Amino acid sequence: MALRLLLQLALLGLGTTRPLVRGRSFGAPAVAWPSFFDLNSPLGVHETTQIPSNGSAPLRVDVQVFVTNVFNVDILRYTVSSMLLLRLSWLDTRLAWNASVHPRRALTLPWDSLWTPELTIQEALWVDWQDQTPQAQVDQDGRVELYLALTTETNCDFELLHFPRDQSNCTLSFYALSNTVMELEFQAHVVNEIVSVKREYVVGDLKTQVPPQQLVPCFQVKLHLQNTALKAILALLVPGEALLLADMCGGLLPLQAPERMAYKVTLLLGYLVFHSSLVQVLPSSSSCNPLLIHYFTIQLLLLFVSTVETVLLAGLLARGHLRAKRSPGPAPRGEQQAHEEAGPNPEEAPRGAGSRRSWAEAADHTFFLLYVAGVVCSQFIFIGLWMWATCKSDPAPGEAVPHGGQPRP
Ligand SMILES: *[C@@H]1O[C@H](CO)[C@@H](O)[C@H](O)[C@H]1NC(C)=O
Ligand SMILES: *[C@@H]1O[C@H](CO)[C@@H](O)[C@H](O)[C@H]1NC(C)=O
Ligand SMILES: *[C@@H]1O[C@H](CO)[C@@H](O)[C@H](O)[C@H]1NC(C)=O
């Protein structure tokens, strides 16, 4: 049991503890304690910084989580930045007073003069508690209410297979490390208070849960994030498709025209620049990478094949011309003359290259048809993959090893 707790603490090592470490000296109260508290009673000031007991049952702390902003989602670093307001409330009967003697309805006390749960966020890279010295409200029955506002950046395993239409669930796990489940339990609710809608990622759904079978009291807030996709469509899909379409149209230029080679090579160069910037925009992970990465790689291959085809056929044609010039044979000459008489463009074909030219043009035409079919097919195959492909991320190493999962005695 103790070993398990140690391991759990080690796992939580990354989380940021609350900066407000309870460093109060246990001497005379440093704060102006209300005069009607009996400092000589056995439940003196020292005692009020201990957790209130609830007999054999754990103390119940009600938590309301107001999510006020999710202002940055960084898919390259796998982090989410959010602003939360926590409203914690619990009953501490030691702080109750007799209303007929002291007719006050509520008191404001500094947070470090009474027991408060210390919260640690497991996934946090950093936590900024906005009020370093929060005040607690206590009413005459001893019900304590404490508000904590925080900004935090947390780690989240985005599911990016369907980027830019990706949806992910991000979890924030709050642990009260200085208490055990025998002393304390959380009851959590979450309220969506996000007022801004102008976001690349929108928060679709919010949930809280209290994970069962923990050694340390814990509650979790789950954010469901959806990508609005507009930026990625404008920056990635539109230029990619435009380049592919332009390349297909390039097949309509005549094979002998010198512009065709220049056109294709320029497109390939343009695509290579686009591809290298794309690689920096898309994240890569050990599992479930975006399908779009494969899509753009296939597009690059298609463009490459079409450029190589143009170069090869144009090269063959040029060689044919040269050979025909060097060794003018009688048979080709006759054929060529016949061709020149029939052909509308006499300057296009030097003698001897007629059959070769028609052969090359036929091959080019066939390739063009195949290429168009290939491009259309690749689009449909990709749409099919997009609809049906699912990916299940590998379990995290902490869940896969034997000490993870359920605690064992
Ligand atoms: C004490 O425990 C009981 C039973 O779990 C619970 O209903 C009650 O709310 C608890 N009281 C406090 C003050 O936490
Ligand atoms: C509150 O104080 C009054 C007057 O001293 C006393 O009569 C009453 O019993 C007290 N109530 C409680 C709940 O202690
Ligand atoms: C995220 O949570 C929603 C419910 O809020 C659930 O329907 C969905 O399957 C979850 N997605 C993932 C990837 O776990």
Q: Which of 192, 187, 195 is nearest to 205 (CA)?
A: 192
Residue 333 lies in a domain: no
Find the mean pLDDT for residues 323-344.
53
pLDDT of residue 39: 44
Q: Which of 16, 405, 347 is nearest to 175 (CA)?
A: 16
Exposure b/e, 83-111, CB count within 10 A at least 16 = b: bbbbebbbbbebbebeeeeeeeeebebeb
pLDDT in tens, 365-397: 999 999 999 999 999 999 999 999 988 877 777
Residue 21 lies in a domain: no
Find the mean pLDDT for residues 153-163.
92
pLDDT at 333 over 90: no
pLDDT in tens, 180-191: 999 999 999 999
Residue 363 lies in a domain: yes
Protein residue closest via CA to atom 13 of ligand 3: 168
* 300 and 274 in a common domain: yes
pLDDT of residue 59: 95
> Ligand 2 pocket: which residues have CB below 6 Å?
98, 100-101
171 near 222, Cβ under 8 Å? yes
Find the mean pLDDT for residues 341-367.
66
Residue 112 lies in a domain: yes
The residue type found at 59 is L
87 near 68, Cβ under 8 Å? no
* 175 and 160 in a common domain: yes
Residue 295, domain CATH: 1.20.58.390
**Where in the sequence is the domain holding 207, given as residue range(s)?**
2-10+58-228
Ligand 1 center–CA 53 separation, angstroms: 10
What is the spatial distance between Cα 4 and Cα 213, in angstroms, rounded to a whole number? Answer: 12
* 213 and 252 in a common domain: no
What is the spatial distance between Cα 342 and Cα 196, in angstroms, rounded to a whole number? Answer: 73
Residue 131, domain CATH: 2.70.170.10
Cα-based angle 224, 160, 285 (whole degrees, multiple of 5): 125
Which atom of ligand 3 has the smallest separation from the CA of 207?
Answer: 5
374 near 304, Cβ under 8 Å? no
Ligand nearest the Cα of residue 393 is 3
pLDDT at 175 over 90: yes
pLDDT of residue 46: 65
* 255 and 371 in a common domain: yes
Find the mean pLDDT for residues 35-52.
61
* 305 and 180 in a common domain: no
Q: Using a 6 Å cutoff on CB, does residue 224 contact ligand 3?
A: yes
Q: Which of 57, 40, 33 is nearest to 108 (CA)?
A: 33
Three-state secondary structure call for residue 2: helix
DSSP single-letter state for residue 406: S
Domain's final residue, options 213, 228, 243: 228
Residue 105 lies in a domain: yes
Lowest mean pLDDT among 18-27, 125-134, 292-301: 18-27
pLDDT band at 328 (very low <50, low <70, confident <90, very high): low
Q: Which of 359, 89, 337, 84 is nearest to 223 (CA)?
A: 84
pLDDT band at 353 (very low <50, low <70, confident <90, very high): low
Give the DSSP H/E element, type plus range, for residue 183: none
pLDDT of residue 352: 52
Residue scoring higher pLDDT (76 or 332): 76
* 318 and 217 in a common domain: no
Domain's final residue, options 179, 195, 228: 228
What is the spatial distance between Cα 84 and Cα 149, in angstroms, rounded to a whole number? Answer: 6
Task: Quote the radius of gyration of the chain (alpha carbons, Å).
Answer: 36
CA atoms within 13 A on the CB side of 369: 5
* 261 and 201 in a common domain: no
* 72 and 143 in a common domain: yes
Q: Using the structure block, give the residue that is written with the tokens 């939580």.
A: 12
Ligand nearest the Cα of residue 56 is 1
Residue scoring higher pLDDT (197 or 105): 105
What is the spatial distance between Cα 141 and Cα 135, in angstroms, rounded to a whole number? Answer: 18
Domain's final residue, options 203, 228, 253: 228
* 286 and 190 in a common domain: no
pLDDT band at 49 (very low <50, low <70, confident <90, very high): confident
* 240 and 376 in a common domain: yes
Lowest mean pLDDT among 68-72, 306-310, 330-334: 330-334
When divided into structural domains, the chain yields a total of 2
Q: Using a 6 Å cutoff on CB, does residue 137 contact ligand 3?
A: no
351 near 320, Cβ under 8 Å? no
pLDDT at 406 over 70: no
The pair phi, psi for residue 305, each rounded to 5°, is -60, -40
pTM above 0.85, yes or no: no
Residue scoring higher pLDDT (18 or 319): 319
Q: Which of 41, 101, 102, 140 to mutate to test the pocket of ligand 2 (most atoms within 8 A of CB)?
A: 101
ω before 164 within 30° of 0 (cis)? yes
* 197 and 298 in a common domain: no
Residue 346 lies in a domain: no
Residue 140 lies in a domain: yes
pLDDT at 28 over 50: no
pLDDT band at 14 (very low <50, low <70, confident <90, very high): very low
Q: Using a 6 Å cutoff on CB, does residue 171 contact ligand 3?
A: no
Q: Which of 105, 119, 113, 102 is nearest to 136 (CA)?
A: 113
The pair phi, psi for residue 314, each rounded to 5°, is -65, -40
What is the spatial distance between Cα 49 and Cα 33, in angstroms, rounded to a whole number? Answer: 13
pLDDT of residue 281: 84
Which atom of ligand 3 has the smallest separation from the CA of 167?
Answer: 13
Ligand nearest the Cα of residue 61 is 1
What is the spatial distance between Cα 409 and Cα 400, in angstroms, rounded to a whole number? Answer: 19
What is the spatial distance between Cα 282 and Cα 160, in angstroms, rounded to a whole number? Answer: 9
Ligand 3 center–CA 124 separation, angstroms: 21
